[in-house]
Structure formats: C-alpha cells, structure tokens
Structure 1
Amino acid sequence: MFGGFVGFGNNKGGDWGESLINTVASNTIRHLFTHSEAVEVAVKCNPSSKLLQGTIDSFKMSGRGLVIRRQFRTEEMSFETDAVSLDFGSAVKGKISLKQPTQAIAKVKLSEADINKSFEADLVRKRLENLTPDVLTAISGGKPVSFNNIEVKLLPGNKVKLTAQASWNDTTVPVNLNCVLGISKRRRVLFENIQFEPQDISPKLQDTSEKLTNALGEILNEMVDLDRFNLDGVKLRLNRLETEGKMLLFSGYAQIERVPQAG
C-alpha cells in the first residue's frame, strides 16, 4: 500500500506518547489512499505531557505519489494543523478522534501527466460522454455527444491549452482552446477567458468546432468541484492556484470535523 514511511522510528526522546500518535496516525492515513510512494507524518508536542490531556502543538503530513480513489494521482500533498485537541484514549485503541474540529493548511501539486490521466477516470468520463444538453444536440442533430482524447498543456501565467475530440455517430470534430485557470467560491476550478483556436482545424469544421469549444468550456466549469472529492468529515477549500512548468500548484485549507477512517 505504501512504498515506505519517512521519519518514523527516529524518536530520539523515546517518548511513547508521540510514538503512539505517530503510529496510529500513519495507519489511519494509509487507508485514505489507494497507493503512495512515500509519506511522512510528524507530531509536535512540547512538553510531551500535554499528550495525556489530548493536546498536541501541530500535526503535519506530507506525501508523494498519492493515489486517491484508485484513479486520481497527486505528485505531492501536504497539510499542517495548528494545535489539535485529541481523544488520547481513542489513540490507545488505535484510532484518531478529535475533541473539536480543526483546520489545516493544505498544499497539492499535480503534474501535467496526472491531470491528463484523470480525464480517463470513471468519475470524469461519465460527465463527458453521451451528453444531451440542447446546446450540443442542436449541433449533432439530436444525437448524444461525447468528448474524448482530452489533452491539457500547462502554460505560464495560469494558462492552459486544451485539445479534444467531440464525436457522435460517425462524426468527429476536433476542439482546441486556450483559457486561464481561476477559482470560484474556494471550491471550484474555473476555465476562464476561453478562446477558440482554429489552427490545424479544417476551415469547413471551424464554425462547428467553435460552438463545441464553448460548450466544452461550460461543461468543464461545472465539473471540477472539490466537494465531489471530499473525504468523509473533511472539506477542502482553495485560496490559490498557480502553474509552474509542468506542474499545477494548489494551496488552501482543510476544515476537519473528524478524521476519516477510509478514502
């Protein structure tokens, strides 16, 4: 399940309380991901006697190559809380239970390759196949339309180039667009300022392709909603996103009502 844990077994102080919380937390986090290349968990508590009252100064997790729900891979993910109030008795029983909700600063890094792979996930495909809104069926003559072969290229300045194919029956029309990524209500990723790119598209298909491009933009703006990916008891919110080379970086926070036991 996990490729390995970093930072465990090096508790020089020999504090059994921190070791217990580290072990239980690692086992809990392990079940939140389908696979991971590496994960590091660190609990800070000074003096350590505060653990007996269930108080720790901070809890930090960082991981690499984390796979969520079998099909969504993140290059890197980390979160760090402020002071946390735990039920220490539950930790003795092998569970992490919060006495009260807490927040954590969260950071996520997605690679261009993983973004493209996510368009093949079942949860995403069902929102891109056999679509029948009026704006699409007016183009296809009443036939359901599917978007496939989607490829995203990250560009500087939070810009994205996206190519795809729209198809119905025996008809296939290429779709090309440029846009800027934004955030709405701290939970949705928006594809803003969508611009149709007619290059490499046959002149006789450009009018149809432009209409499909605008339709795809509307679909994408309704699709990337973090509330669809929340873990039980955890709400994720975004403050900022940024393209950096072939990586897309997100920063925000997690509102944690309770620690989920499984992803």
Structure 2
Amino acid sequence: MIGGFTAPPTGTDFGERMLNKVLSQSIRHLFSQCESVDVAIRCSPSSKLLQGSVDNFKMSGSRLVIRKDFFVESMSFETDAVSIDFGSVLSGKVRLRQPTQAIAQVVLTEDGINQAFTAELVQKRLQNIDTPELTNLSGGEPVSFTDINLQLLPDSRIKIFAKAELPNGTIPISLLATLAVERRRRISFQNPQFNADAVLEEVRGVSKVLTMAFAEILDNMVDLDRFDLDGVTMRINRLETQGKQLIFSGYAQIEHFPGSK
C-alpha cells in the first residue's frame, strides 16, 4: 500500500498535489513490496511547478522489498532541485529533464540480512564452489556454504556462523570481520578472523581454511551495482551498526523514474 500523502502547505495548487501522488506511485514501483511510501514536495512559489521547477522532494519508505528477496527496513532520500516535464505529470508519469542527486539513507536489519542469504541470487554464489583451495579439502568435489547466520556487533563488526558441505560431511565455520565501504559501492569484509571458540577442536584445522575461503567469497560478493533500482544508482559514503540494524548513508543518482523513459 502507499502511505498517505504529506499534507501540502497552504497555497499549494492542484498541480503540486498531482505531482505528489504521481511521484508516490512511481517510487512504489521501484520495489517488489512496500508497507508505506511517503513523498513531500517543496516548491515555492508553487507557480514554478508549471515551468517544471521543484525546489526538492523528500521520500521515505518502510519495510520495502527489492527484487523480491532483499528486505529493507527503511529507505529515505532528499533531492537537490529537480527539473521535470510537467506535461508528463498530467499523463500520470514523472519525466526528469535532467538527472538529479539525493542524500540517501538505507537501514537493514539483522533478520533482513539473514533472509537475503537465502535468496537465489546469493545462493548461486555460495553453492558448488570449485576453487583449488576448497577442492583440495573435498577430494576434488565442489563445496557449498549453507545455514548462514550473521550477527551485527558494535563498531561495524559482524560475526557469522555457517556450515561447509563437503562430500564426506558438514564442517561448521565461524568468522569475525569488520564491514567497510570500498569505492562507494562495494561492501568489504575486512580483517577476517577465524572464530575458533565456536568450533570443536577436532575440526578447527579444516574449519579455519574453509572459514577464510568463505570470507574471501563474501568480500567479492556484495556490490551495489547488482542491486540498483530502475533508474536509481545508490552510492555509500559510510556505514555503521546500531544494535540489530546496519545503517548506510550516502547518495542516490536518479536518472529516471519507472515507466517514464
């Protein structure tokens, strides 16, 4: 469903209310599911809207799903000045005359991150891995990583428990690492450490090798370009953990809105 529109300020005309509604509908189509999407437009004086000039708009959404499998607790952005084709609004679309940027924040939960590990897109990167390092441990057979559980820790640290499926059995693995941002688009798992205390002593040797191989796979897996929304490119300036939440702050480059090209 779409949340209620932010009440327009006194003197805002019908065109601004229409743009508010069309923007809300367009943004909603960026997501597979959403609990709420709210948009607030600032345009002063409101007559500028007829020339397609908007001072900025703010969007906030909660409990969103991207590409059917990736749960986002909340997402918000606030744009720079926006130039639109007002005629497109009359036909139920929002067409930008030029791209615009927005300050953005994305909040993920620990549960949402763990749900993402079960997504088909992610599973493909974790199943039937046949690197020499792993096949040396498995008698030449591919190795798969399953039952992944991530815990968020203070100071952008994480702890991961998982299982490595080998032909002759299952080996538990456990990893400690620090999350960081590289090139504003890639999430890096830095300073990975084998968490020996979480693994039985008799399998620690092979578990350590598997854990460090798993860490390398993770470090090359999370690239925001694989999760871009239609017409919106996200870039991250910083991340931090707060309790059971992982918070990204950065910006969005908005080229177009869904259905407006």
**Interval containing the TM-score (normalised by the shorter chain):** over 0.9
Q: 1:61 aligns with which of 59, 71, 76?
A: 59
SS at match of 1:116: helix
Q: 2:23 aligns with which of 22, 25, 45?
A: 25
1:11 is displaced (CA, Å) by: 5.8
Q: Does 1:137 align with 2:135?
A: yes
Q: 1:211 aligns with which of 209, 212, 221?
A: 209
SS at match of 1:26: helix
Could you tell me whether the CA contact under 8 Å between 2:8 and 2:17 is conserved in 1? Answer: no
RMSD over aligned Cα atoms: 1.4
Name the CA distance, whole Å, in 1 between partners of 2:90 and 2:194: 58
1:205 is displaced (CA, Å) by: 1.0
The one-letter amino acid of 1:214's match is M
| Equivalences for residues 130-209 of structure 1 within 5 A | 130-209=128-207
Q: Structure 2: which 5+ residue stretches go unaligned?
A: none
Q: Does 1:250 align with 2:248?
A: yes
Q: Which moves more between the two structures, 169-178 or 253-262? A: 253-262
The one-letter amino acid of 2:147's match is N
Name the CA distance, whole Å, in 2 between partners of 1:218 and 1:200: 20
SS at match of 2:136: helix
| Aligned structure 1 segments of 4 or more residues deviating by more than 6 angstroms | none
The percentage of counterpart residues that share the same residue type is 52
Q: Which moves more between the two structures, 27-36 or 209-218? A: 27-36
| Equivalences for residues 5-16 of structure 1 within 5 A | 5-8=3-6, 12-13=10-11, 15-16=13-14
Could you tell me whether the CA contact under 8 Å between 1:67 and 1:73 is conserved in 2? Answer: yes
1:108 is displaced (CA, Å) by: 0.4
Name the CA distance, whole Å, in 2 between partners of 1:36 and 1:170: 43
1:6 is displaced (CA, Å) by: 2.9
Per-residue deviation, residues 136-182 of structure 1 (Å, max 9, x unmatched): 11121111111011101101111001110000224101111111100
SS at match of 1:89: helix
SS at match of 1:220: helix
| Equivalences for residues 219-230 of structure 1 within 5 A | 219-230=217-228
Name the CA distance, whole Å, in 1 between partners of 2:228 and 2:61: 18
1:99 is displaced (CA, Å) by: 0.5
Q: Give the direction of change, closer, same or farther, for the CA distance of 1:10–1:57 in structure 2 (3 Å limit).
A: closer
Q: Give the direction of change, closer, same or farther, for the CA distance of 1:14–1:48 in structure 2 (3 Å limit).
A: closer
Q: 1:100 aligns with which of 72, 92, 98?
A: 98
1:44 is matched with which residue?
42
Q: Structure 1: which 5+ residue stretches go unaligned?
A: none
Question: How many residue pairs get matched?
Answer: 260
Could you tell me whether the CA contact under 8 Å between 2:27 and 2:257 is conserved in 1? Answer: no
Q: TM-score, normalised by structure 2?
A: 0.96
Name the CA distance, whole Å, in 2 between partners of 1:249 and 1:38: 19
Could you tell me whether the CA contact under 8 Å between 1:5 and 1:39 is conserved in 2? Answer: yes
Q: Which moves more between the two structures, 204-213 or 30-39? A: 30-39
Could you tell me whether the CA contact under 8 Å between 2:30 and 2:230 is conserved in 1? Answer: no
Per-residue deviation, residues 94-149 of structure 1 (Å, max 9, x unmatched): 11111111101110011111111110111111110111111211121111111011
The one-letter amino acid of 1:40's match is D
SS at match of 2:20: helix
Name the CA distance, whole Å, in 1 between partners of 2:40 and 2:12: 14
The one-letter amino acid of 1:138's match is N
